[in-house]
Structure 1
Amino acid sequence: MNNKALFQKKIQSQFSGWKYSALVRFLLFVILTAVFYLALTNRMIPQTYDIQVGTTAEKNILAPRAIENAIATEKAKEEAAQHVQPVYRIVSLKNEQLIEAMFEKLQQINADSEVTLGDKVNIFKSVFPNLAQDHIDKQIQGYTASGQYNEPLLLEIRKKVSEQQYRIPEETFYKMPRLAKEDLTLMEPVSKEIVTKLMNDQILDAQTVRAKVAELVNSSTLTKSIAREMVQEIVRAAVTPNKFLDQKGTETAKGQARDNVKPVFINKNDVLVNKGDPITEEIYQRLSGLDMLQDESSFLPRIGLIILVLLFTLGVVMFVRRSALPIKSNNAQLLMLVLIIIMNILGMKLFSLVQNLDYPYIGLLAPAAMGAMLVAILLDANLAFFSAVLFSVMASMIFNTDHLQSFDFRYGLVTLVTSFAAIFSIQRASQRSSILKAGMAVALMGMLLLGSLLLIDDHESKRNMLFALSFIVGSGLLTAVFVIGLLPFFEAAFGILSPLKLVELSNPNHPLLRKLLTETPGTYHHSIMVGNLAETAAEAIGADGLLCRVGAYYHDIGKTKRPAYFIENQTNIENPHDKMDPALSKSIIVAHARDGVELLKEHHIPKPIRDIAEQHHGTTLLQFFYYKAKKIAEAANDPNPVEELDYRYPGPMAQSKEAAIVGIADCVEAAVRSLRSPNLEQIDSMVRKIIKGRLDDGQFNECDLTTKELDQIAKTLNETLLGIFHSRIEYPPTSLSTENQSAVVTK
């Protein structure tokens, strides 16, 4: 039987040895490095292929990322350019001035009496055809000098006006000399009015407009038929096109249309080359441009990535080594940190797989702040801040779709800010609902930051902005849901007592606390007092005050097995120890620590609280029963001496500051309560005597409590106890009615 017990103890020792094994620690960091590398390799390093022109593809070659389809993009640009309508310009050629020039010539030539009729006809034949052309040349020269219109447009104007120039019938020239001065005076304003009216429209084809001239002249105030006939011909000669094709403007518009076409992309994992397709020169050059061909330098990016992830791991190693937490040497906590990092990175990777061009911001839906929140709850806030920085760098690479650079700062910055918001929100959390509030803080801070970034970079469509903000809200909710779901797993698997779990265990409705209250009310009250004392003392030296308080609530739970044998529960009954052998009494008293541990195990209370219940007495001496046993032995002249070791608690001694503080508070509360009217000097003397006694007895040798911390604990306990046992005014019995006396006692 003894050999079997020794064998089991040896196996248990070897199994628990992994927690402090250097090899296990090294393997955990190796695993972490491998996770970093695998998470980033497909983002940072494209897959390469060993192929040559003329061979066939042995397997489907997929796009390593979203890449531009140059052929499809160029086709889309050409289609956009073809849909651009020709650009026309409306150019005023000042046709009213041409009318004035024509009538000026008519007045001048007809007024010269020395010129014969035949000569006048010949002059009109030579002058009028050139008059319109000279006017147009003059206008074009003016526009050329001013630079108002481009050269191709001016050439187009000259060409179109020349092509559509009106040829005045020859018989008209024979009729022009017959026009009297009075006729010309009446004809000129009518002609100018008709030309102005016609030229107000956009004229691409002058011939269609000239067909309207006869109707307008006939409806004018002119009465002579020759006058109306001459006005029709003069107006037709003066009418020109005023709407001209602007070739340069058209090309500019087509260029803008081409520029406005968004590039056509091949989505990530779309097939670039099907299995069995021949590798043409074009395909080979495309794959080469994407760095997908194996060559002598293809291994360099992998070396760079290995160096990068080693730096990540080195950062974790250095931060853990400089930590004051148990994670510095405890592989169990390191394993928990590694698992949190792996799960957080895995979550980001899963969301990056569905990231595409239609939903470019879907990566924001990933609960990237989950890891930092879990680290803050389960380990330490400072470690959580470091984890937040690490996760932000990873997010900027995992969700990067641009590939023009290695990082997308937007995802990194959003992850950093939301993780910090989660850490600040979850610190000192006391309820599970605090996690949901932290998730809302993540969503709010993410929306504010992302909204500012999108407003600064205002090229995004309203649709993408709406999706991005919706995704960040979803991220906050998912973060809260995953943390709430994962927290019990970590608490159970690693025996972690998070602040949230401790607050749950402090609920008076917990079955064990209700058992303590109903079966041992005196012990319950004592435990509550010890909890208050231990919490204030622990916080004074930077220990876990909440753990001390909750541990104190359960430290005497073993007394519920034999409540009547403990003095605080002996109300109106005789003390059974008065008639018992001191050795038996010792066994009953000592057993309450062991019974408490067994009861706590049955109710699955976490180990740190069980340790407090087991260690709060350490290996202290039960002095009352020891001296009673010695007195009985001396009276009976027993030759066998009473061994002090037989009247000590079995231990172990306190292994943590929290267990030691609960032990001090337990002893101090009971001792001070025994004083009739305690004052400051009595309390201080009692507290320091108890602490010194335990220190001299070596009860603090395994819990790292310093002398300075013990002195601070003594001061804090004195202040707290003085507040509890403060003096009250003694009222004369006759000064208060029975009802008022009851009220005073109640207070």
Structure 2
Amino acid sequence: MGKRSSPIDQQQWWKKLKEHRYIRLSLFVLLGILLYASMVSNVIPESLNVSSGTIADQDIRSPVTIEDREETEQRRQDAAAEVESVYSLESRYTDNQVEQANEIFDLAARVASEAEAIEREVEAYEARAEEAEQEQEESEESSDENEEAQEGDASESAGTAPPEPLTEEQMVSQLRALMSSRANAELDDDETLLALLNASEEQRQEAKSILENVIVTVMDNNNIRLDEVDEARATAAHRVSVSGVDQALYSSLLELARFSITANYLYDQEATEQARQLAVENVEPVMIREGQLIAGEGELITSEVYNELALAGLLDDHTNLFPYIGLALIVLVMTSMLGYFLSDAKTSLQTNNTHLLMYVLIFSLALFILKLVSYAHLINLAGVTLVAPVAAAAMLITILLHPRVALFTSMMLAIAASVIFNHESAGVVNYIHGLFVFFSCVGSTFFLSQSHRMVRILQAGLFVATLNVIVIFAIMMLRGTQFSLVEAGLSAGFAAAAGVLAAILTIGLIPFFEAGFGILSTMKLIELSSPNHPLLRKILLEAPGTYHHSVIVANLSEAACESVGANGLLARVGSYYHDLGKTKRPHFFIENQMKIENPHDKISPQLSKTIIIAHPYDGAALLREHRMPKEIIDIAEQHHGTTLLKYFYYKAKNNSELDVPESEFRYPGPKAQTRESAIIGIADSVEAAVRSMQHPTPEKIETLVKKIISDRLEDGQFDECDLTMKELNLISRSICETLQGTFHSRIEYPDEITEKNVVKEKVKIHG
């Protein structure tokens, strides 16, 4: 087999570099820089060298959605100004005015009543004085005694001053003193009050009733604003004139009617403010929408249009750093999420920096493809940018690394594509390409997650091509715009080509990544499992018993690995090569001793131990020489772990009087580092042990399998791999089920070799 260049994992410079404490951080930083570099040219704001009053030489559309705050504020002010003042009817004002008018009548009646009482008192006084005078004239001839008495009475009468009757002015003054200040101010004509004072009680009651009716009728039936008070008072005066009131009170009633009528429909400031606020809130913000035509080709750039261009950031009058900062933040979030995901997901990328480097290269390749194809829009051909075979990245990651990583990468590539292809969109993000890339990558990942065979990749390309066509038609229909058959056909054709190209690119790149990074893909494993492989032919020709043993171990380990979710195909292929080292001295292993004398009978147990222990490392050396994948080499080196060669240990101990250290008869290791290596070690021991059983039964097999697993567990052989007790039980059950039809008669394999019979047992060596 021809020599091949060593993969990067075997290069000395990378062996040193990959263990550096900052290498993972450096790779994520590199990925972030590549992401930023691929998208930064697409977020640089477009600048136009235009000024107010010039003519637009092209259609100018807004790249963003932004609010025109100045215009919005102006519209809100206009809306508030258009709201009319809110008035509210104060019905209680009618009662107030009626009470105030009635009070004037009552006060006038009171003052008039008092004046009448004084007048009656004056009249009584005058009557008594006249009577006394007449009596004096009749008694002039009476005695002195009578004269003295009469003089005394006259003197008594003369000593009491008669009351003064109230004048009209005094009556009016008293009435004004009792009236309110507003009534005094508005009823400034004394004749009005005098007429009320001079009227009879019946006249006042009639006038009072008429005025009350007028007030209620006018104010309850009309919403009287301040500027409508005079009109309402005129209406009240008219009603007084037709009421048939006594002429003596007509003028007074007119004045009282005018005085009593007031505004009852008043400005409500709170309600007005609420109405204006509601009007302001109902004004929609004036938005300049993404993709909105601000100025058409040949149109005049008015001051209003110029302001809109400034708001949209299309003028070159200043440098806007926000897009650069925003992109940096997006890239930071993307790389941080990726770093967290890869550190938490149970994949090889969690610890393997070589695989991480390969992932960065695949991602960079996808970004390069997206950026390169993005310039195809200059061709001005419908749908040409859909031809980007970016799904190849998802296929490569699915095959070479893990489907979960491919799904996460699909999301990141979709985000990058939506920005890189934004030249077809007025905004920063082109959702069409974002959705297209997402579905294309996710579809390829799902299709390849179960099988990685070459024909499956070609089928995946056809599947992605069909999916791409469906997605692009769906997006065209969702947009709701008219499209021609030519446009639809071209878009569908390019979308389908992207899927086929992705499959072809994947098939072409897989060998390079496998060789360059020592990746053991499914296709590589299938290739290595071919019986025509030179190393497998070497085992078959030089150690046929070992070859048959390896095939049985492969069957056992593949089924056991699949039962616990490990890589069954890796276990199968690793089993084929795990005993390759036996080809160096095949006849020292019992499965290859066909009708020949056992060579171990002629040599010391120490030499036998050296020969037997060497076979895992001889095999690993041969595998390295042939540039085999590291996973296969590790299985060959680790499948025995640090187990003890019991037969030769007890043989040496029995032949020597000195104490023989157990460590001299143990494999140097390392112990199994992966589940696959551990399971192959179990299957290796089980296969040899079952073959040595005479008359095996399912019960015997189950007991033996459990004992071998238990011994290895107690011996600490699983300490460095992540097998759980539950998984060990599943492995035991799977091996027992597989062994039902695969064992054959063989020399009995003892449960425990004792010191006493060690020299009597035949040498039985198994891998």
Under a length normalisation based on structure 2, what TM-score does the superposition of the two structures give? 0.60
After TM superposition, the structure 1 = structure 2 runs for residues 629-644 of structure 1, keeping only pairs within 5 Å, are 629-634=652-657, 640-644=658-662
**Could you tell me how far apart the structure 1 residues matched to 2:392 and 2:297 are?**
33
Determine if the alignment matches structure 1 residue 472 to structure 2 residue 507: no
Q: Which residue of 2 aligns with 1:660?
A: 678
**Could you tell me how far apart the structure 2 residues matched to 1:13 and 1:687 are?**
42
**Residue 450 (structure 1) shift:** 1.6
Q: Secondary structure at the match of 2:378?
A: coil
Question: Equivalent of 1:413, from 431, 435, 460?
Answer: 435
Q: Which residue of 2 aligns with 1:44?
A: 43
Q: Which residue of 1 aligns with 2:132?
A: none
**Could you tell me how far apart the structure 1 residues matched to 2:501 and 2:45 are?**
31
Q: Tell me, yes or no, if the aligned pair for 1:18 and 1:331 is still in contact at 8 Å.
A: no
**Could you tell me how far apart the structure 1 residues matched to 2:491 and 2:688 are?**
61
**Residue 291 (structure 1) shift:** 4.3
**Could you tell me how far apart the structure 2 residues matched to 1:390 and 1:495 are?**
26
Q: Tell me, yes or no, if the aligned pair for 2:396 and 2:510 is still in contact at 8 Å.
A: yes
**Residue 334 (structure 1) shift:** 2.1
Q: Which residue of 2 aligns with 1:612?
A: 635
Match of 2:23, as an amino acid? V
Determine if the alignment matches structure 1 residue 426 to structure 2 residue 448: yes
Deviations 1:213-239 (A, max 9, x none): xxxxxxxxxxxxxxxxxxxxxxxxxxx
Q: Which residue of 1 aligns with 2:31?
A: 32
Which blocks of at least 5 consecutive residues in structure 2 are unaligned? Answer: 1-9, 62-294, 746-767
Question: Equivalent of 1:399, from 405, 416, 421?
Answer: 421
Q: Which residue of 2 aligns with 1:542?
A: 565
Match of 2:653, as an amino acid? K
**Residue 376 (structure 1) shift:** 1.1
After TM superposition, the structure 1 = structure 2 runs for residues 588-627 of structure 1, keeping only pairs within 5 Å, are 588-627=611-650
After TM superposition, the structure 1 = structure 2 runs for residues 35-184 of structure 1, keeping only pairs within 5 Å, are 35-46=34-45, 68=59
Q: Which residue of 2 aligns with 1:497?
A: 520
Q: Tell me, yes or no, if the aligned pair for 2:552 and 2:742 is still in contact at 8 Å.
A: no
**Could you tell me how far apart the structure 2 residues matched to 1:423 and 1:541 are?**
23
Determine if the alignment matches structure 1 residue 649 to structure 2 residue 667: yes
Higher mean C-alpha displacement, 656-665 vs 708-717: 708-717
**Could you tell me how far apart the structure 2 residues matched to 1:544 and 1:67 are?**
60
Determine if the alignment matches structure 1 residue 343 to structure 2 residue 342: no
The alpha-carbon distance between structure 1 residues 691 and 623, as it changes in their structure 2 partners (threshold 3 A), is same
Q: Which residue of 1 aligns with 2:609?
A: 586
After TM superposition, the structure 1 = structure 2 runs for residues 138-287 of structure 1, keeping only pairs within 5 Å, are none
Q: Which residue of 2 aligns with 1:733?
A: none
Match of 1:614, as an amino acid? E
Deviations 1:89-137 (A, max 9, x none): xxxxxxxxxxxxxxxxxxxxxxxxxxxxxxxxxxxxxxxxxxxxxxxxx
**Could you tell me how far apart the structure 2 residues matched to 1:709 and 1:338 are?**
34
Q: Secondary structure at the match of 1:401?
A: helix
Q: Secondary structure at the match of 1:724?
A: coil
Q: Which residue of 1 aligns with 2:708?
A: 690
**Could you tell me how far apart the structure 1 residues matched to 2:450 and 2:465 are?**
20
Deviations 1:117-170 (A, max 9, x none): xxxxxxxxxxxxxxxxxxxxxxxxxxxxxxxxxxxxxxxxxxxxxxxxxxxxxx
Determine if the alignment matches structure 1 residue 370 to structure 2 residue 361: no
**Residue 550 (structure 1) shift:** 0.7
**Residue 357 (structure 1) shift:** 6.1
- Choose between structure 1 and 2 for higher RCO, CA contacts under 8 A separated by at least 6 residues: 2
Deviations 1:629-657 (A, max 9, x none): 112214xxxxx432222211121111111
**Residue 360 (structure 1) shift:** 3.8
Deviations 1:406-460 (A, max 9, x none): 2222212221221122112212224222211111111111112223333554522
Give aligned pairs, total.
494
**Residue 662 (structure 1) shift:** 0.5
Question: Equivalent of 2:651, from 628, 634, 638?
Answer: 628
The alpha-carbon distance between structure 1 residues 683 and 25, as it changes in their structure 2 partners (threshold 3 A), is same
After TM superposition, the structure 1 = structure 2 runs for residues 3-42 of structure 1, keeping only pairs within 5 Å, are 16=15, 18-42=17-41
Determine if the alignment matches structure 1 residue 551 to structure 2 residue 550: no
Q: Tell me, yes or no, if the aligned pair for 1:688 and 1:714 is still in contact at 8 Å.
A: yes
**Residue 328 (structure 1) shift:** 2.1
Under a length normalisation based on structure 1, what TM-score does the superposition of the two structures give? 0.62
**Could you tell me how far apart the structure 2 residues matched to 1:701 and 1:47 are?**
61
**Could you tell me how far apart the structure 2 residues matched to 1:653 and 1:497 are?**
21
Question: Equivalent of 2:530, from 480, 483, 507?
Answer: 507
The alpha-carbon distance between structure 1 residues 586 and 726, as it changes in their structure 2 partners (threshold 3 A), is closer
The alpha-carbon distance between structure 1 residues 265 and 466, as it changes in their structure 2 partners (threshold 3 A), is farther
Tell which structure's C-alpha radius of gyration is larger: 2
Q: Secondary structure at the match of 1:699?
A: coil
The alpha-carbon distance between structure 1 residues 285 and 455, as it changes in their structure 2 partners (threshold 3 A), is closer
Q: Percent identity?
A: 46
Determine if the alignment matches structure 1 residue 672 to structure 2 residue 690: yes
Q: Tell me, yes or no, if the aligned pair for 2:410 and 2:441 is still in contact at 8 Å.
A: yes
Deviations 1:699-732 (A, max 9, x none): 11111222222222112212222243499xxxxx
Question: Equivalent of 1:304, from 299, 303, 326?
Answer: 326
**Could you tell me how far apart the structure 1 residues matched to 2:320 and 2:603 are?**
86
Which blocks of at least 5 consecutive residues in structure 1 are unaligned? Answer: 1-10, 54-62, 71-262, 267-280, 635-639, 728-747
Q: Tell me, yes or no, if the aligned pair for 2:34 and 2:364 is still in contact at 8 Å.
A: yes
